[in-house]
Amino acid sequence: MSEDNESSVYDVLTKVNDNTWEVPGNFKPDMKVPGRIFVSKTLLDLLERETIDQVANVACLPGIQKFSMAMPDAHLGYGFSIGGVAAFDKDEGVISPGGVGFDINCGVRLVRSNLMEEDVRPKLPELLDALFEAIPSGVGSKSRLRVNDTELDAIFIHGVQWAVKNGYGVKNDLAHCESNGMMRGADPSKVSVKARKRGRPQIGTLGSGNHFLEVQYVDKVYDEEAAEAFGLKEGQITFMIHCGSRGAGHQICTDHLQNLTKASKKYNIPLPDKQLACAPASSEEAQDYFKAMICAANYAWVNRQVIMHWSREVFDDFFKAEHGDLGLDLVYDVAHNVAKLEKHMIDGEEKKVYVHRKGATRAFPAGHPEVPDDYRDIGQPVIIPGSMGTASYVLKGGPNSMELTFGSACHGAGRVMSRKSAKKELRGEDIQKDLRSQGIIVRATQPSLIAEEAPEVYKSSSDVVDVVHDLGIATKVARVLPMGVVKG
Amino acid sequence: MSSDVKGSFEYLEHVADAKFRAYGKSLEEAFENAALAMLNVMVETDSVNNTSSVEVELSSPEIDSLLFDWLSEILFLFEVEDMAFGGVKVNEIKVCDDECSLSATLYGETIDLSVHVFDTEVKAATYNDMRIEQTDDGWMIQATVDT
């Protein structure tokens, strides 16, 4: 970080404790609440000044509750920072696509198995080839699953329920998805023809960029009781899927952004940044977006579900197992980019608020009614992927998440180097070789993608996770290490 | 500002997304180069044979929303027409008080993963730090696309 940035960051922020920094409520004239950035000193040194501005800008929006927040993986985003969390009053507040992002319900799911590291390590290259073959990935990839408009409507409305009903999964998968893989309130009539055209051919595709399918093993268990509840133990093989709503979600956001830009003017909402286009939560424009956003969220859950289903088939074929023998159960699926109407205690009073989590994960604690029955005494699994070559973490929703962050935690490591710089400074082939020497195999459509997503372009996932753990927002259950990665 | 110049556009530093400036003697040329800058994030346009074409007609209330719509339309056509685009011709841009319009032709061919060299997926156009400015030499467009 430059000296200029360092001095300006410390000029602006007030230290609350070792992992919490406040953007004072008078930093910008229209701020309605202060900002809270949850970072350690190490991560604060990597924070861009513009990210603080974005946290302050969100604090200016009508009806915001308590604080405009940024999680420890925060970095510059569009409107909200990535890692941004904000809750808006159901009646007095707003809904903003900039608080969700273009890739609606980009998220992560973790699948466990009965296999152990030594069962898979010798056969890993062939297994990865088979996964790479089965899961369409990369720019321009199309799915072998094609749906008609009626089926697409059903996917938008019923999410993973559609998938299970149509043979892409088992009933138990539903309970282990956030919102049971189906947010209620979808209205496909709010989805444009363009979004439908993009959505139809892409169900079951990984996409590109930072999205991946990773074969991993559980390297360390921190919390035996929680790990047992989540079905995890040291040495066990897991796999993780990270992707979102693909072109359908991107188009839904693009379409409604135009409407909400007009609506901001119509309702005289002063915007500190044009990218925070929004409308009163109860307005037709905001509700139209919200209903379409739910369609995209449900689509994204189906996308990850179908990818998981095909991955299960690959594992079964590869290990010549009958369905179910390998214990390929879904541990959990979390959304990263979504807005939800939730109940939270604010100033001693229960209120309904639209919680926007953009590059942030829900992290509900033990006892919360939305935590699946079999995890209710433990807390919601919180899955934090690393980058290729670095650890991913499984946490559980912590006791302080409802009070501190509207039940939210970080979602990943957060970039520190641009794709352009990464491609200039790093060679994909070198990264691939280096990872290979660490026992990690990467399959990607292009070597440049490997450079773009190299471990060194991200913050340390361990540093990020330590902050949420120390704050009691989400606490560490297990660490998983990559063995093989399929990239788009 | 870095100077990764290719033709009449250059890429700027951005930690997560792709940001660029495109130039042109006319507004039409600047829009063409903005499109090429975005396309080159996705695919090496030199690897595409421009044997087919798609016509684009757009109108929008303001010039910046026209640029947003233009880049968004190319992303849409790329996916639904299953085409890699290697060339762009913006025939005309009209700027009036309450409506701006554009007519253009995109040139390319059906995607062939064995021929076309794909790079990063662009998810969407954005208004992030968008600038459309008249300069001494013509026009400059700055845009950021979500990758």
Model pLDDT for residues A80-113, shown as the tens digit of each residue:
999 999 999 999 999 999 999 999 999 999 999 9
Of B79, B82, B145, which to mutate for an interface test with A (greatest number of A Cβ within 10 Å)?
Answer: B79
Please count the CA atoms within 13 angstroms of the CA of B81 that sit on its side-chain side. Answer: 19
Average pLDDT score, chain A: 93
Rounded (10°) angle between helices A246-266 and B63-80: 160
Hey, is the C-beta of A265 within 8 angstroms of any chain B C-beta?
no
With H, G, I as helix, E, B as strand and everything else as coil, classify residue A314.
helix
Q: A349 to each of A208, A343, A344, how far by Cα in Å?
A: 43, 10, 8
3-state secondary structure of A254: helix
Taking the C-alpha atoms of residue A219 and residue A216, their distance in angstroms, rounded to an integer, is 9
Please indicate if any CB of chain B lies within 8 Å of the CB of A73. no
Given a contact cutoff of 8 angstroms between Cβ atoms, the answer to whether A433 and A414 are in contact is: no
The residue of B15, B122, B132, B144 whose CB has the most chain A CBs within 10 angstroms, and thus the best one to mutate to test that interface, is B15
Residue A374 pLDDT level (bands cut at 50, 70, 90) = very high
Chain A residues touching residue B144 (CB < 8 angstroms): 78
Choose between A139 and A439: higher pLDDT.
Answer: A439
Helix residue spans in A331-418 (DSSP H) = 401-405
Tell me what pLDDT residue B25 has. Answer: 94
Nearest residue to A69 (alpha-carbon basis) of A383, A398, A468: A468
Check B123 against A275: CB less than 8 A apart.
Answer: no
Taking the C-alpha atoms of residue A137 and residue A261, their distance in angstroms, rounded to an integer, is 33
Comparing CA positions, the residue from A65, A103, A71, A104 lying closest to residue A86 is: A65
Interface contact flag, B123 A103, Cβ < 8 Å: yes
User: How would you class B92 by CB atoms within 10 Å of its CB: exposed for 0-12, middle for 13-18, buried for 19 or more?
Assistant: exposed
Query: Looking at residue B45, what DSSP letter applies?
Result: G
Over range A285-294, report the average pLDDT: 98
Report the pLDDT value the prediction gives residue A443, as an integer from 0 to 100.
87
* Cα A49 to Cα A75: distance, rounded to the nearest angstrom: 10
pLDDT of res. A389: 80
Q: Any chain B CB within 8 A of the CB of A359? A: no
Q: Do B126 and A416 touch (CB under 8 A)?
A: no
Residue A468 has pLDDT above 60, yes or no: yes
Over residues A171-204, the pLDDT tens digits come to 999 999 999 999 999 999 999 999 999 999 999 9
In this predicted model, which residue has the larger pLDDT, A25 or A137? A25
Q: Is the pLDDT of residue A291 over 60?
A: yes
Q: Tokens 């509750």 label which residue? A: A65
Interface contact B146, partner A, CB < 8 A: yes
Least confident of A163-172, B3-12, B95-104: B3-12
A75 touches chain B (CB under 8 A): yes
CA distance A151 to A70: 38
Q: What's the pLDDT at A138?
A: 79
Cβ contact, residue pair B11, A420, below 8 Å: yes
Give the highest mean pLDDT range of A402-411, A425-434, A457-466, B89-98.
A402-411
Cα A161 to chain centroid, rounded:
21
Q: Which residue has the tokens 């991560």?
A: A43
Q: What is the pLDDT of residue A99?
A: 97
Count CA atoms closer than 13 A to A62's CA, side-chain side.
18
pLDDT band at B2 (very low <50, low <70, confident <90, very high): very low
Bridge-based pairing of strands A236-243 and A107-116 is antiparallel
Interface test with A, best of B117, B120, B122, B130 (most A CBs within 10 A): B120
Q: Which residues of chain A from 15 to 54 reach within 8 Å of chain B, CB to CB?
A: 48
* Average pLDDT of every residue of chain B: 90
**pLDDT, average across residues B76-105:** 94
pLDDT given at position A7: 55
pLDDT (tens digit per residue) in A8-22: 778 899 999 999 999
| Cβ atoms A52, A75 nearer than 8 A | no
pLDDT of residue B3: 40
β-sheet bridge partners, residue B4: B11
How far is the C-alpha of A7 from the C-alpha of A193, rounded, in Å? 49
The answer to ipTM > 0.95 is no
Give the residue-averaged pLDDT of B53-62: 95
Smallest CA–CA distance, residue B127 to chain A, in Å, is: 6
Contacts of A109 (CB under 8 A, 6+ apart): A177, A240, A241, A304, A308, A330, A331, A332, A333, A334, A383
User: What confidence category does residue A276 fall into, taking pLDDT thresholds of 50, 70 and 90?
Assistant: very high
> What average pLDDT score do residues A281-286 get?
98
Q: What is the mean pLDDT of residues A244-255?
A: 96
Residue A382 reports pLDDT greater than 80:
yes
Q: In this complex, do A417 and B15 lie within 8 Å of one another by their Cβ atoms?
A: yes
Maximum distance among all Cα pairs of chain A, rounded to whole angstroms: 65
User: What's the pLDDT tens digit per position in A421-443?
Assistant: 787 788 888 888 888 898 899 88
Biggest alpha carbon distance in chain B?
47
Query: Strand A474-487 to strand A441-444: parallel, antiparallel, or no bridges (unpaired)?
Result: parallel
Which residues, numbered 24 to 83 in chain B, qualify as contacts with chain A under a Cβ-Cβ cut-off of 8 Å?
42-43, 65, 68-69, 72, 75-76, 78-80, 82
d(C-alpha A172, C-alpha A328), whole Å: 11
- Check residues A414 and A159 and name the one with the higher pLDDT: A159
**Residue of chain B whose Cα is closest to the Cα of A77:** B16
A141: pLDDT strictly greater than 80:
no
The pLDDT of residue A302 is 98
Measured between alpha carbons, how far apart are the two ends of chain B, in Å? 20
